[in-house]
Structure 1
Amino acid sequence: MIRDAEILGGLVETVRRFVRERLVPAEALVEETNAIPPAIIDEMRALGLFGLSIPEAYGGLGLTMEEEVMVALELGYTSAAFRSVIGTNNGIGSQGIIVDGTEAQKAHWLPRMASGEVIGSFALTEPDVGSDAGSVRTTARREGDHYILNGTKRYITNAPVADVFTLMARTGEAGPGGVTAFLVAADSPGLSLGPPDRKMGQRGTKTCDVILRECRVPADAVIGGVEGQGFKTAMKVLNRGRLHIAAVCVGQAQRLCDEAVGFARSRVQFGKPIAEHQLVQAMLADCATETYAGLCMVTDAARRFDAGERIVQQAASCKLFCSEMAGRVADRALQVHGGAGYMQDYPVEHFYRDVRLFRLYEGTSQIQQIIIAREMCAQR
């Protein structure tokens, strides 16, 4: 259920203005420097954006899924790097603690995550482990009142700026049942970081390897205090994460629609704006239609989530469709711009590169297809 409409409307409008008046003008600087200005991060803290999905009892805004989607749509209107810096605090970096953490873990980490004092990160992927998340090779062995961790995590979002990692390591037998979730502070002895990754797009988003060599963490770092529950914890938070990413994709698509329309209105060829040429109109119409379809899907699935329905199939469908859709919209938007779209002087160039990642992380498109098909076949 959505809270007071006036309060929610005020929040969404505040985020909308912040995105358009503060973040959009800073996009070129982020592209050039590969970093988000610290002043902007401070403003994001002040707006409460680091705690959108963290319960109010721990200092967050405690948004419902539908409310979070509404905010994510606005954040998706600008460069993905801005959302990424707050994404792990609101998503997989905090949700594992929320759903399975002990009260002591919640009290220690969540208020500081909500305020932005602490930046969380989620460390699951490894050099040889990606989609097959149950095959984690990083090990954790118990020694008295500590665990000793060894392994490498790869492509970890926010790792260079993170204060704590929700990290998956193997404590038991092969397979998902042997995976345990740990809360590993960034300053833990034996933890180091690899060089920053050089990525195709999403400049300003920081990722790198997390290297564990005899990394020592206290026994109470196990999320929930129970070994072997890590894979289950990860799976519990995926539906929310997939809907959030899907909403961001819709926001990106809407921005690309607006950029394409703006260019088509001003660019004149054959004696008239190209917006009056029917083949260009067809591309614009397809962009708008698919963006609207994505919006409807995500909104419906979010409402079902808030109603307590099982939405594994719907969440995977949203992630699949919206991430693929954003790629198609980006391609058409660039085509509308013609040669100009290939130049870094226009936003569509970096959006074209940025949206490609959405089809890969938090479950590739192929993984989403497998999930959808399994859910279909399991229905009676």
Structure 2
Amino acid sequence: MNEFYQQFEMIFGPRKGLIPSILEDDENSSFPREAQSLINQGILRFLIPMELGGELKGIDQLFALGRSLARRNVTSAIAVGQCFLGSLPVWIHGSAEQKHALTSILSQGGLNCLALTELEHGSDISASEVTIDETEDSFILNGQKWCINNATKGKVMSVLAIAENGPTLLFIDKSQLSKDDYENIDKLKTHGIRGADISGIKFDELSLPKDVVIGKKGRALETVARTMQISRTLCAAFSLGAADSTFRDMLDFTHSRVLYDELLKDRGSVKSLSSKALALILASEALSISVTRMATLAPKFMALYSAVTKSFIPHMIEKQIGISSEILGARYYLRENDYPLFQKNVRDHAVVSLFDGSMGVNLSIIASKFNNIKNHIDAEEEYDFEEVYNLKYETLHFDGSSLKLSSRSEDFIFSAFNTLYDEDTRGIVLQLRSEVEKLRSFIEGVTDYTAYLARDAALKYCRVVTAINYLLFTDYNKDKMIGDFTTDDSIQFVISTILDDSCDYQYDESVYKNILSGKLVSHFDIGVNE
């Protein structure tokens, strides 16, 4: 894992040196110049699987890329991430010819996107009004896609349209079209990620050959579902990148700001708030790493856990950013002076909970599985838990063919907890068992999976699963973690923070000095290029 971060930290260059140009591009709503420079230098090769001649080894490698880039500029990370999102349907279900064509385009720095949403329908992609009419030797495409990242700058796109037999994905290479074949919709003005190409595209009687279908006609929603299992998990990289940058700014402020003849870092309330913010980052890192590894080592569980990751990690990091904002005070709101990137991160991170299925959409996915989750809670299936959790084991190269549409009545995290901690009488285990019983009772009371009570139950499920995951993650990796994070007190504190229980704990000053000396905000000793 460390080697991936070292590689990308060197490629991306010192973070602080990029701040002036990042801010200028944001003010002008211009596409990030450092992102364009990286694209010109071939960064998109890391989105191409190795068997196709690229450098994509595994999803954990891509997670490190996204996190390292997002801690510099969330807008850039999302622009590059959208290229992978648009590529996933082709890597998973595309033909050999489509994979070859996409590989060529990405290798030459051509951007990509996944065009799902429309102005009138938002997240309800099955209601698409972009249509395909089929003739004897071609498809005729009509309609408009809206609020699509890279829709204008993209050279190629995966487009969802409705055919006679249902939703269908099309591989469209814009370089093969004339300017009269489509019309770009103007870039939309957004609250954050101002420089991103959030725009759209309109098709009017566009004639396409029949080999543009990705996978099977009428089966697009299955491809999209599998695509989202990976992309939702990787969205955690954007959150953790923003977390690193905002937390680092806050730490720097507390170590330099003097109030009432005392450094801010030495005030009791600040120590406690800083520790809570750090705990939220640690919980998010543990969940994201675990589920990222599942993507290749236990892919049949991704239908559920990708929704948990996408629901809960942006939620936790929004809390962390809120705490950091409180400590920074007026400086969090300023677009200049000491910490001008902070306000941009506040705005940019707000979008992470929206795309690839909003928090509400992903909580509804979890709620729809409550009948199975009732069985999950007592599950004791034997899986290779250590292979997934212990970072000494390498993950496999990415292969989306093993992703399943549902994990049915199986649950990896609950099985690991029930199997490994049956006889464990530690207080932290007993606390989690109590939380599991509360969750069981709460879910039993849900009869309408579309009601607010179901949403609340899904959020409780996320809390309990994330807390259990944290115990498993730390138990398997204590020999690799920074010492302060391996203690029972620290683990108890993080779990209490996840569960939203009141628990006051203060990390030692050495933890913060380590981060400020040039280390990633992480369980592990990972150097960064500041």
TM-score with structure 1 length normalisation? 0.90
Q: Distance in 1 between matches of 2:108 and 2:122?
A: 28
Q: Distance in 1 between matches of 2:76 and 2:228?
A: 21
Alignment of 1:197-276 (within 5 A): 197-224=188-215, 226-276=216-266
Q: What residue is the counterpart of 1:165 in the other structure?
A: 157
Q: What residue is the counterpart of 2:454 in the other structure?
A: none
Aligned mate of 1:33, from 28, 41, 44 = 28
Q: Distance in 2 between matches of 1:9 and 1:370?
A: 34
Does 1:43 find its partner at 2:38?
yes
Give the fraction of aligned pairs with identical amino acids, expressed as a percent: 21
Query: Greater Rg, structure 1 or structure 2?
Result: 2
Q: Distance in 2 between matches of 1:31 and 1:13?
A: 22
Post-superposition CA distance 1:3-46 (Å, at most 9, x none): xx75x46524424x526266445321222222245565233442
Point out the more displaced range, 271-280 or 118-127. 271-280
Q: What residue is the counterpart of 2:99 in the other structure?
A: 106
RMSD of the alignment, in Å?
A: 2.1
Which residue identity is paired with 1:186? K
Does 1:369 find its partner at 2:359?
no
Give the 3-state SS of the residue equivalent to 1:212 in structure 2.
strand
Aligned mate of 1:287, from 271, 277, 284 = 277
Which residue identity is paired with 1:183? F
Q: Distance in 2 between matches of 1:181 and 1:53?
A: 20
Q: Distance in 2 between matches of 1:112 and 1:54?
A: 11
Q: Distance in 2 between matches of 1:152 and 1:105?
A: 23
Give the 3-state SS of the residue equivalent to 1:357 in structure 2.
coil
Unaligned stretches of 5+ in structure 1? none
- Residues 231 and 161 of structure 1: CA distance in aligned 2, closer, same or farther (over 3 Å): same
Give the 3-state SS of the residue equivalent to 1:60 in structure 2.
coil
Q: What residue is the counterpart of 1:72 in the other structure?
A: 66
Aligned mate of 1:11, from 7, 11, 17 = 7
- Residues 116 and 375 of structure 1: CA distance in aligned 2, closer, same or farther (over 3 Å): farther
Q: What residue is the counterpart of 2:496 in the other structure?
A: none
Per-residue deviation, 1:50: 1.2
- Residues 367 and 130 of structure 1: CA distance in aligned 2, closer, same or farther (over 3 Å): same
Point out the more displaced range, 184-193 or 232-241. 184-193
Which residue identity is paired with 1:55? P
Which residue identity is paired with 2:167? V
Q: What residue is the counterpart of 2:117 in the other structure?
A: 125
- Residues 59 and 18 of structure 1: CA distance in aligned 2, closer, same or farther (over 3 Å): farther
Q: What residue is the counterpart of 1:194 in the other structure?
A: 185
Per-residue deviation, 1:340: 1.9
Q: What residue is the counterpart of 2:344 in the other structure?
A: 350
Per-residue deviation, 1:112: 2.1
CA contact (8 A) 2:169 2:214 kept: yes
- Residues 116 and 370 of structure 1: CA distance in aligned 2, closer, same or farther (over 3 Å): farther
Per-residue deviation, 1:153: 1.0
CA contact (8 A) 1:154 1:208 kept: yes
Post-superposition CA distance 1:107-156 (Å, at most 9, x none): 1122321x243211111001122222222221110123221111111110
Q: Distance in 2 between matches of 1:80 and 1:9?
A: 17
CA contact (8 A) 1:147 1:218 kept: yes
Q: What residue is the counterpart of 2:516 in the other structure?
A: none
Unaligned stretches of 5+ in structure 2? 376-530
Post-superposition CA distance 1:244-285 (Å, at most 9, x none): 111221121121111111112222222222222222223211
Q: What residue is the counterpart of 2:167 in the other structure?
A: 179
Q: What residue is the counterpart of 1:142 in the other structure?
A: 134
Point out the more displaced range, 37-46 or 274-283. 37-46
CA contact (8 A) 1:193 1:210 kept: yes
TM-score with structure 2 length normalisation? 0.66
How many residue pairs get matched? 367
